[in-house]
A and B are shown apart, each in its own frame.
Chain A
């Protein structure tokens, strides 16, 4: 079974530029997550999709971040314009969970995209 794919693996941009990250989840996984992990911290959820609908985007800085999941499969996360504090690893994860309840919270992660904003 192929894992979660992300690209690019590394990106260096200057502040005020825009950047986009791509994620392809595990086939059949309905739920997709984007996390931001700043150095020395745990991952912070930015947005969660179930199929192509948004379940939770309460921590997404909507003035500069946007995300979409077309056709309930691949997803893109965009930052425009980037700030210095956006330097982090952006992780995509997917899980097979549908709906709420139950205890199967296992999420499968991609390798991440390391963003450096200069």
Chain B
């Protein structure tokens, strides 16, 4: 029972272009969503988050969009840089139970 799904195992994008990573969820009780970035042999690091009261949150080159009716969120990276090559995980939680439920990750490859 995957409550958080990242349907693209990998994504390849040209340097300087926009990277769009997608995440779908099934539990309408989720009210907080996070993106983590993971390099090989390291633990995930927090990237950006959004609460369900918003539909957009921006931090520098990173923007997360939330569509509650579609139970869908996306992470936009503009412009993409070689250092962005990593695995990106989407995670969700309910405020009443702050356990994070994680997607399987999307491997982003930025081509020079």
CB within 8 A of B95: which of A93, A100, A109?
Answer: A100
Q: Per a CB cutoff under 8 Å, which of B41, B43, B49 touches A106?
A: B49
B95 touches A103 (CB 8 A): yes
B45 on the A face (CB < 8 A)? yes
Is there a chain B Cβ closer than 8 Å to A62's Cβ?
no
A110 to chain B, nearest CB (A): 5
Within 8 A of A (CB), among B44-71: 44-46, 49, 51
Contact B46 A107 (CB under 8 A): yes
Inter-subunit contact A43/B102 (CB<8 Å): yes
Cross-chain contact B99 with A91 (CB below 8 angstroms): no
Contact A4/B104 with A45-B99, A102-B95 known, Cβ cut-off 8 Å? no
Range of interface residues on chain B? 20 to 34
* Residues A10-26 near B (CB distance < 8 A): none
Set of chain B residues within 8 Å of A101, measured between Cβ atoms: 95-96
Total interface residues on A, CB under 8 Å, equals 24
- Whether A56 and B95, one on each chain, are in contact in the complex, defined by CB atoms closer than 8 angstroms, is no
Tell me the interface secondary structure of chain A in the complex.
loop
Question: Is B25 at the interface (CB under 8 A from chain A)?
Answer: no
A105 and B104: CB pair below 8 A? no
Instruction: Please indicate the chain B residues that have their CB under 8 angstroms from the CB of A112 in the complex.
Output: 41-43
Instruction: Chain A residues near B49: list those with CB within 8 A.
Output: 103, 105-106
Closest chain B residue to A55 by CB distance? B99
**A42-B4, A91-B43, A93-B43 as given contacts; A107 in contact with B100, CB under 8 Å:** yes
Report A-chain residues with C-beta under 8 Å of the C-beta of B97. Answer: 100
> Which parts of A95-118 form the interface with B (CB within 8 Å)?
97, 100-103, 105-112
- List residues of chain B with CB under 8 Å of any chain A CB: 4, 9, 32, 34, 41-46, 49, 51, 89, 91, 93, 95-100, 102-105
